[in-house]
Amino acid sequence: MSTTTIPAWVALDETAGDGNLKFQDVESKKWDDDNIDGEEQFCPQMCWTYLSPLCVGNSKGMINQGGYAKVWRGSARFANKVPDGMDPADAAALVCTGITCYSPLKRYGAGTTAKRVGIIGVGGVGHVGIMIAKAMGADVTAINRGTRKEADALKLGASKYIATGSDLEKDFEGHERSLDLIICTIIADYMRLLRPMGAIVVVGIVPDPISIPSRPLIWSGAAVAGSPIGSPGEIKEMLDLAVAKGVKPWVQKYNMDDINQAVKDMKAGKARYRFVLVNTDNGGVL
């Protein structure tokens, strides 16, 4: 059983009952099984962030409310300290969209073995993926439908932008076999963009089955994989990287009391690129 470092209140001696506690980093046990060491995101008894029955404790069986709730209570081993100087709203976006991209980028060698990375979909997840991939040292190509997000993608750190339409074969002319790794937030036929022995990682959930053409998959020796979020240890790494490299997601803040308007604006496609609900009742600042 491996460990991870978490911040927690620690009892110093028998006077702890009188409040003698110290806030410091401690080693906490992590979940693992026979083959997976410390990767809690793969736990078969996972309690999902939203609309999921709570798994343990006095509230077992109750449905959680995720980011719509004003408070959260859970095991300290899943908590990470927000780095000093980081806006909590930025941290809120990073621990969702940021870790969704950071985990597969790290696993598949972005900036090292995978020097040329493609991010498909410049949206809530993809816009952070561009920044993180660049922060890891990769040359980033952003891929999105149409040209309306090209300026944003380049500002976020992409060195190239591929605008797609109804004819992908034409859109990809000159870009074949140009990428070592693709992070795919939306699904389409992007195999031809992969270099030999490259990988395409799906992080966007879609209701329909994924169709992969076998010929380019086989003859390029490519890999197709999926990735959920990341472990608490990876979240800490990602937050530290964000501070060190100045990764700052593009967020728009809403007071939690204005949540209905936020949902309307999200459905209207107004997010550029992440909405964050701010709990002003608990000291949050808009």
What the chain holds in terms of domains, given with CATH numbers, is 3-78 (no CATH), 106-226 (3.40.50.720)
Q: What's the chain's Rg over C-alpha atoms?
A: 21
Alpha-carbon distance of 286 to 276, in angstroms, equals 10
Rounded mean pLDDT, 76-94: 91
Residue 63 forms beta bridges with which residues?
Answer: 53
> What pLDDT, on the 0 to 100 scale, is given for residue 207?
81
* Better-scored residue on pLDDT, 8 or 222: 222
**Which of 66 and 257 is assigned the larger pLDDT?**
257
Burial class (CB in 10 A: 0-12, 13-18, 19+), 242: buried
pLDDT range class, residue 2, cuts 50, 70, 90: very low
281 falls in which pLDDT band (50, 70, 90)?
confident
1: pLDDT confidence band, cut at 50, 70 and 90? Answer: very low
Could you tell me the pLDDT band of residue 5, with boundaries at 50, 70 and 90?
Answer: low
- Kind plus residue range of the DSSP H or E element containing 89: helix 88-93
Between 70-74, 173-177, 276-280, the lowest mean confidence (pLDDT) is in 70-74
pTM, two decimals, is 0.85
Among candidate residues 104, 112, 107, 157, the one with its CA nearest the CA of residue 136: 112
Cis preceding-peptide flag for 273 (omega within 30 of 0): yes
C-alpha triplet 145, 108, 168: angle, nearest 5°: 25
Looking at the predicted structure, is the pLDDT value of residue 147 above 90?
yes
pLDDT over 80 (residue 44)? no
